[in-house]
Structure 1
Amino acid sequence: MRTPDPAVPDAAVPEAAPVAPGPAAAPTAVSVSERPPRGPRVRRIADRLSVQFRVPIEPQYDQAGHRWTLRWYDGPTVAAVRCALERLFPNDPTAPNDQAAPGDPAAPSAPIASNGPAPEDAARLAVRRDLTTRALVLAAIRETRAGAMHRSVGSWGQRYHLEQLLADQEHPDRTADPREAAMLERLLEASSTDVARGAGGPDLARAFDLVARDGVAWLLPEPHLAGPADRDALALTPLEYLTSRYATGVHRAAWETALTPLPLRAAVSAAHQDPEPGPDAARAALTLLPALRARASAELDAVEARLAAVVAAVTSGSVSTPILPAHERSR
């Protein structure tokens, strides 16, 4: 039997020189006041504001900016929501801690000792209101009537003007009456693109161009004369009906762009001078006759009162004949 070779000792491995322990690197401290509020807290804030303003308010988290934004459409103004944030959420240090939801992007490493939204949370929340196409188109109708929609500035200039105008207006999508609501729906329908081409829905630039070019009179839903049964203000009043039928020149432009009616006397005279006014025009003029008669009577009464005062002054001797100079008497 072969004698086994003696074991060869392993090569000596030089030991690493001991490293002197240095000061441990201090972790980056994040102040609690600088941390964004946690997701559950922000969602509670959004829910409370949604109930208060009766508008859906959604929280959105910006990964790049590490910031929550409360966002909604139309509804209250930004100033109103910011004021509500500062007023409705006092700090409650006695409440239990929040439990961060799994995967919450804004969940801090340590719990914040407050279950209710704190004032500093409200200050760290951004708020943003977006305007819907409906609100902007409604504002375009109103601004056209006011003479403030100009095609020369283009659709972007018109949109900027309307956004600045609506900044301090609550619920800019709400119409004033059924007629304005019908006009809005008609303009939205007229400005909608072809759905078959894959681009359905109202085109804001087209809506701006339509009212800037053609005015708003064509948006009126009912071109006929209003009758006793018409209670929703959709049909035309007698003066509006005569204006839409007889207005010309500057009066036609004023009617088409601002729905400005003719003067009362001009409207009745136009129907009277029409060889074939038609039953609706005749009824409209007859309806306006009492108002025209009352106005004419008031004007005649004012003339009579002034002339009677002059006669009374002459009779009482309060009006004397002026004494002319000598050179004036010789003429």
Structure 2
Amino acid sequence: MSRSTQIRHLVADLEKAADVPVDAAYGERGRRWELSWSNGPTPDTMKTHLTKLAQRAGLDPALFDLSRIVQDNALALQAVRYLRAAPTGEDPYAYESALAWEIERAARDTDHPDRPLDEREAALAARLLAAEGGYTTPRSLADRLLGEGLAALLDDGLEQERPGERAWAAEYLTARYAATLTTPHAAGPADHAQAWRRHLLTAPPGALLAAAAADPDAPAAVRLAALTLAPAVRAELEAALAEADAAELGLITALRADGSAWAQIGRALGTTRQGAAQRADRLTARTPPPPVNASLTGR
């Protein structure tokens, strides 16, 4: 089998392994083959595939140079993904160069950087690239996203009522009330308006429910969205209450084990010794026992 035929077979196998088209060109001056592809695996991943396949074919991997082109659609997708996952707080993106570097790094270090994780990511990336006119750079993307944020890429879908869909309810209410919320954001100290505009991070369900309930001019869509979040808020409160009950019962149990009198415990709880004992009984009745360690039971 001729060398050129071996190379063709190698490239075909490499395309299957990497799941991307690969171009092969022979450089007469350097007497080496250059393998190039768009998006697809990182050069390190491709080198791993190449080394394995070349050795199997009896070819020296050192005969090949690898070159990957990261296209504009991949840059846009990685920009969207990075901002959706980025933490809020003290804004590290005060300068576009910092965000541009993160976008470039994400595209460089990601296998198949053009493949979206979900439909929302794909739609946002497509709109971002269209807003850029179909051609972009990391710095241009950073400049646009710092100025407008991901929220500017949303279509009018939030205005379409989807009661029962929690993701819609949280986004719809956050878009409406983010600028007026004063509660701390779960992801950090950044205000809700910036967290939503830049990262599409929604506000806590409890804050959104309270804002909608306090809005005398709320339309039906807002009230339906708030009702959609109500079960999640209730579940969160019930979980917090159960955690507080367990902690309180643990403290009472530890104090009693250390010899503290019911009268002392009652004073701490703002009740009588009898009230403290009754409180402990009620907590015991509604607090589930801790899980049994299987290693201690021999199972």
1:150 maps to which residue?
A: 93
Give yes or no for the alignment of 1:80 onto 2:45. Answer: yes
**How far does the alpha carbon of each residue in 1:284-318 deviate from its partner, in whole angstroms, 9 at most, with x for none?**
11111122223333434455566667778899994
- Report Cα offsets for 1:231-253 as digits up to 9, x if no partner: xxxx9521121111101161110
Structure-2 residue corresponding to 1:289: 230
Instruction: Give the length in aligned residue pairs.
Output: 246
Q: How does 1:1-331 map to 2 (within 5 A)?
A: 38-90=3-55, 117-120=57-60, 122-145=61-84, 146=86, 150=93, 152-154=95-97, 160-192=101-133, 201-204=134-137, 205-221=139-155, 222-225=157-160, 227=162, 237-248=168-179, 250-303=191-244, 318-320=259-261
Q: CA contact under 8 A between 1:59 and 1:71: conserved in structure 2?
A: yes
| CA displacement, residues 141-189 of structure 1 (integer Å, 9 cap, x when unaligned) | 12223159836254xx755543433334211100011111111111111
For residues 258 and 16 of structure 2, what CA distance do their matches in structure 1 show?
A: 78
- Provide the rounded CA distance (Å) in 2 between the counterparts of 1:159 and 1:60: 32
Can you list the C-alpha shifts for 1:45-79, whole angstroms capped at 9, x where unaligned? 22221133221100123344332110001112222
| C-alpha RMSD of matched pairs (Å) | 3.3
Aligned-partner SS, 2:159? coil
Larger Rg: 1
Relative distance call for 1:308 and 1:52 in structure 2 (3 A) is closer
Q: What is the distance in 1 between the residues matched to 2:38 and 2:216?
A: 54
Question: Alpha carbons of 1:279 and 1:319: their partners in 2 closer, same or farther (altered >3 Å)?
Answer: same
Tell me if the contact between 1:137 and 1:208 (Cα under 8 Å) persists in the aligned partners.
Answer: no
Percent of aligned pairs with the same residue? 31
Are the counterparts in 1 of residues 22 and 36 from structure 2 also a CA contact under 8 Å?
Answer: yes
State the Cα deviation string for residues 21-55 of structure 1 (Å, max 9, x = none).
xxxxxxxxxxxxxxxx9544433322221133221
Task: Provide closer, same or farther for how the CA distance between residues 169 and 319 of structure 1 changes in structure 2, counting only shifts above 3 A.
Answer: same
Decide whether the 8 Å contact of 2:174 with 2:202 is kept in 1: yes
- Higher mean Cα deviation, 49-58 or 311-320? 311-320
With normalisation by structure 2, the TM-score equals: 0.70
Question: Residue type of the partner of 1:143?
Answer: Y
Q: TM-score, normalised by structure 1?
A: 0.64
Alpha-carbon spacing, 1:123–1:295, altered in 2? closer, same or farther (3 Å): same
Q: Which whole-Å CA distance do the structure 1 matches of 2:163 and 2:213 have between them? A: 23
Instruction: Tell me the alpha carbon deviations over residues 110-162 of structure 1, each in whole angstroms, 9 at most, x when there is no partner.
Output: xxxxxxx4332x221111111111111111112223159836254xx755543
**Which structure has the highest helix share of the two?**
2
Report the CA distance shift for 1:269/1:225 in structure 2 as closer, same or farther (over 3 A): farther
Gapped runs of 5+ residues in structure 2? 181-190, 265-299
Q: Matches of 1:150 and 1:125 in 2, distance apart?
A: 39
Distance 1:83 1:313, change over 3 A: closer
Unaligned stretches of 5+ residues in structure 1: 1-36, 92-116, 193-200, 323-331
Change (3 A) 1:173 1:202: same
**Structure 1 residues 304, 125: CA separation in 2 closer, same or farther (over 3 Å shift)?**
closer
